[in-house]
A and B are shown apart, each in its own frame.
Chain A
Amino acid sequence: MIEAIIIDGLVTGAVFALLAVGFTLIYGVAGVTNLAHGSFFMLGAYMFSVFGPHGFLKLEAIQALILATIFVAIIASIFYRLSINPIIDDAVAVLVVTVSVAIIFQQIVLLVFGPGFFVVPPFTSGSTAILGLMTPNSRLVSAVISMALFISLWIFISRTKIGAAMRAASQDREVAMLMGINTERLYMLTMAISAALAGIAGIFIASSTTGVAAASMWLSPLAMSFAIVILGGLGSIKGTLIGAFIIGYAESAVANLVPEGGAIVSVVPFLVMVLILVIRPKGLFGKRIEMEE
């Protein structure tokens, strides 16, 4: 039991970190609360299945993964350009528009793929024994790739020139513009990266943990990433990583310890989110979130 919780929590935490870091990235850089973040998670899973070994294109798993990620990134860029860019200064409008777009994506997926569950194949077969527990290879691979991507994102933001531009834009948009940064294009790039990471997380979760994709699977990842981001402190990448592991372990503990936990597990992110916001909106590490005007 305890081994299962350790491994489950590790894998879920790593993938959730990937999901949540995209959310915190676009919030931190562009100030956009993207309620359509979960939709990219869902789209990633569906696209992987479409491009994947049993789908229409019958590509290798890794090719399908890359293609699906690029597809999601392009969709996100178009979405940013058409619907967020004109109203980026209006926080309330952004909220309503992004949640509308999330519902639009859900309805499109329902129209195209139908209301049932959509089988997503695992991208590797076989399993390895860890701590005396047979763990599917696909879960291990997804955890490793997630961590690798997370670290490379960190390096990207802290070492490269574009990363510096992102940090500059997050500190002060006007001054960044004066320094010659094209913030519009930068925000679009940030949105694309953020959506791509969410898409990869969706592929990993759908193919290695649940095995299915459904049109309604955007809401609970959204709540999940929000909970993680608030727990770790908004805009902080380090905090996101820690928050993701805490919530990943919490979820795997509920799934493994509570009888009939499988049915409740989808409510966990919402409960955690409400509890954090209501009890300790500052986040775990005591950083003050600027919620006052």
Chain B
Amino acid sequence: MVTTYLTRIYSSFTAHVFDIPPRMLALLLFSFLVVLPIGGLNQYVLGILASANVLAIFAASWDLLVGRTGQISLGHALFFGGGAYITALLFENYGLPFWITIPIAVLITTLFALLIGFPCLRVKGPYLALVTMAFPIIIGSIVGWAPLVDIFHGEIGFRGLPRFFPFLKIQDQALAEYYLTLLLLFISSVILYKIANSKTGIVLVSILDDEVASKASGINVTRYKLMAFAISGLFASLAGCTQAHLLKLANPPMLSLSWSFIPVIVTFLGGIGTIYGPLLGAYIYYILDRYVLTILVKIPPEFVYAKLLIFTAIVVILILKWPRGLARFTTDKLQDLEEARDIEERGPKIWKTYKKKKKIV
């Protein structure tokens, strides 16, 4: 009797009080992040949080491309590292301040994304994944190539980029950088979310769901795909430029496969196809990386490789067992839902089959 009553209270509570759309949860997360430094965090933690913000932008840009249009890109490090390198080049050769270099770098990277997107998007599925994977490797080896050492500084890369606010005191700098990245994250995630849920976003989802049907409905599929690719490249390169100034360097590892793979990890942690999922995923990633695996477990420096191993294993397990990700799991639990209600909350169905009838000769 009492238990039934309590259960009813609980279900009515979840149905009415927690019946808020996930974007409200994302806003709550944001307001939490705004007040977070008031408790007086030290510089190190603020630096990590700033990096988490940057990673969230990066992962959300990957999510817009892959989660919404299904164009799998395993080479997002191209835009990330490319943006970082262009800012560094502009700073070193012309001594420009960051508020000029970053927009120029973002613009150049976006144009480059359009340029390579045009031939690349003719292919799809595994082909696109491998072509996109190849680009950062090619650019990375050009950048690290010995004869070009005068331009790109080889394997060492650029060092000593200026910080964002050199005129402030050290402690204030970290705080200011944190708020700057948070502002960037807020602006970019709002823009990405609006794009993903606008009419354009619906068109993108329709391309993911059935490309032939979208074509038949008179949608210029290539143009929309290219647009998604360019927007994604824009935000990824914004993240790369910001990261370069935060870490004060731009080096070949920023073009490596692991930087292409980190947004995949983060997106799958949060939940693919949601845009707000990667924001949560980025924070979980940094908490796992810098707190659980560094302070709690204390991985010795010679086993630093184990970190990526653990994260990749998490991704595999998530895909196999829990493909909806943590953010959507949370919202589902809060709303007591078996099935998600509409496209915004379930996200597009990312898993789809390609036709695979090949004859062996």
CB-defined contacts of A87 to chain B, threshold 8 Å: 319-320, 351
Q: Identify which of A83, A222, A274 gathers the most chain B CB atoms within 10 Å of its CB.
A: A274
Chain A 165-180 interface 0/1 with B at a Cβ cutoff of 8 Å (1 = within): 0110011100000000
Name the residue of chain A whose CB is nearest to the CB of B306.
A111
How many chain B residues touch A (CB < 8 A): the figure is 56
**Interface membership of B38, Cβ < 8 A:** no
Name the residue of chain A whose CB is nearest to the CB of B314.
A100
Structural contact, A238 and B72, CB atoms closer than 8 A: no
Structural contact, A92 and B134, CB atoms closer than 8 A: no
**Interface membership of B257, Cβ < 8 A:** yes
Structural contact, B360 and A100, CB atoms closer than 8 A: no
**Interface membership of B130, Cβ < 8 A:** yes
**Complex: how many Å from CA A111 to CA B135?**
27
**Interface membership of A209, Cβ < 8 A:** no
CB-defined contacts of B359 to chain A, threshold 8 Å: 28, 167, 170-171, 235
Interface range on chain A (Cβ under 8 Å from partner): 35 or more
With beta carbons under 8 angstroms apart, the residue of A95, A104, A223 that contacts B313 is A104
Structural contact, A271 and B124, CB atoms closer than 8 A: no
Structural contact, B355 and A290, CB atoms closer than 8 A: yes
At the interface with chain A, which of B21-29, B44-52, B138-146, B279-287?
A: B138-146
**Interface membership of B74, Cβ < 8 A:** yes
Name the residue of chain A whose CB is nearest to the CB of B135.
A274
Name the residue of chain B whose CB is nearest to the CB of A278.
B119
Secondary structure at the A interface, as helix, strand, loop or mixed, is: helix
Chain A 60-77 interface 0/1 with B at a Cβ cutoff of 8 Å (1 = within): 000000000000000000
Structural contact, A99 and B145, CB atoms closer than 8 A: no
Measured between C-beta atoms, what is the minimum distance from B64 to chain A in Å?
Answer: 16
A residues 1-47 in Cβ contact with B at 8 Å: 25, 27-31, 33, 35
Structural contact, A263 and B134, CB atoms closer than 8 A: no
Structural contact, A277 and B127, CB atoms closer than 8 A: yes
**Interface membership of B108, Cβ < 8 A:** no
With beta carbons under 8 angstroms apart, the residue of A104, A166, A278 that contacts B131 is A278
**Interface membership of B298, Cβ < 8 A:** no
**Complex: how many Å from CA A91 to CA B354?**
6
CB-defined contacts of B361 to chain A, threshold 8 Å: 235-239
With beta carbons under 8 angstroms apart, the residue of A260, A267, A278 that contacts B120 is A278
**Complex: how many Å from CA A181 to CA B352?**
25
Structural contact, B305 and A111, CB atoms closer than 8 A: yes
CB-defined contacts of A133 to chain B, threshold 8 Å: none
B residues 113-135 in Cβ contact with A at 8 Å: 119-120, 122-127, 129-131, 133-135
Q: Identify which of A30, A33, A91, A219 gathers the most chain B CB atoms within 10 Å of its CB.
A: A91
CB-defined contacts of A101 to chain B, threshold 8 Å: 312, 316
Chain B 207-218 interface 0/1 with A at a Cβ cutoff of 8 Å (1 = within): 000111000000
**Interface membership of B169, Cβ < 8 A:** no
Q: A236-B361, A267-B141 are in contact. Are A97 and B319 (CB under 8 A)?
A: yes
CB-defined contacts of B268 to chain A, threshold 8 Å: 96
Structural contact, A104 and B316, CB atoms closer than 8 A: yes
**Interface membership of B358, Cβ < 8 A:** yes
**Interface membership of B137, Cβ < 8 A:** yes
**Interface membership of A191, Cβ < 8 A:** no
B residues 13-47 in Cβ contact with A at 8 Å: none
**Complex: how many Å from CA A89 to CA B354?**
8
CB-defined contacts of B211 to chain A, threshold 8 Å: 292-293
**Complex: how many Å from CA A278 to CA B309?**
33
**Interface membership of A107, Cβ < 8 A:** yes
**Complex: how many Å from CA A28 to CA B127?**
15
Name the residue of chain A whose CB is nearest to the CB of B119.
A278
**Complex: how many Å from CA A269 to CA B21?**
48
Structural contact, B312 and A91, CB atoms closer than 8 A: no
Measured between C-beta atoms, what is the minimum distance from B59 to chain A in Å?
Answer: 14
Q: A111-B309, A223-B134, A274-B135 are in contact. Are A31 and B316 (CB under 8 A)?
A: no
CB-defined contacts of A250 to chain B, threshold 8 Å: none
CB-defined contacts of A137 to chain B, threshold 8 Å: none
CB-defined contacts of B357 to chain A, threshold 8 Å: 31, 170-172, 290
Q: A89-B353, A92-B352, A235-B358 are in contact. Are A263 and B146 (CB under 8 A)?
A: yes
With beta carbons under 8 angstroms apart, the residue of A33, A219, A236, A277 that contacts B123 is A277
Structural contact, B320 and A86, CB atoms closer than 8 A: yes
With beta carbons under 8 angstroms apart, the residue of B126, B145, B305 that contacts A33 is B126
**Interface membership of B356, Cβ < 8 A:** yes
**Complex: how many Å from CA A171 to CA B359?**
6
**Interface membership of B347, Cβ < 8 A:** no
**Interface membership of B308, Cβ < 8 A:** yes
Chain A 267-283 interface 0/1 with B at a Cβ cutoff of 8 Å (1 = within): 10011011001100100
Structural contact, B305 and A110, CB atoms closer than 8 A: yes
**Interface membership of A108, Cβ < 8 A:** yes
Q: A86-B320, A263-B146, A293-B355 are in contact. List 18 more A-B contacts (CB 8 A).
A: A28-B358, A33-B126, A87-B351, A90-B351, A92-B70, A95-B126, A97-B319, A99-B74, A100-B264, A103-B309, A110-B305, A170-B357, A170-B358, A223-B130, A281-B123, A291-B123, A291-B127, A293-B354
Give 4 closest A-B pairs by Cβ, nearest first.
Answer: A31-B356, A235-B358, A107-B309, A33-B126
> Could you give 7 example pairs across A and B, Cβ below 8 Å?
A93-B351, A95-B126, A103-B312, A230-B127, A273-B130, A281-B122, A293-B355
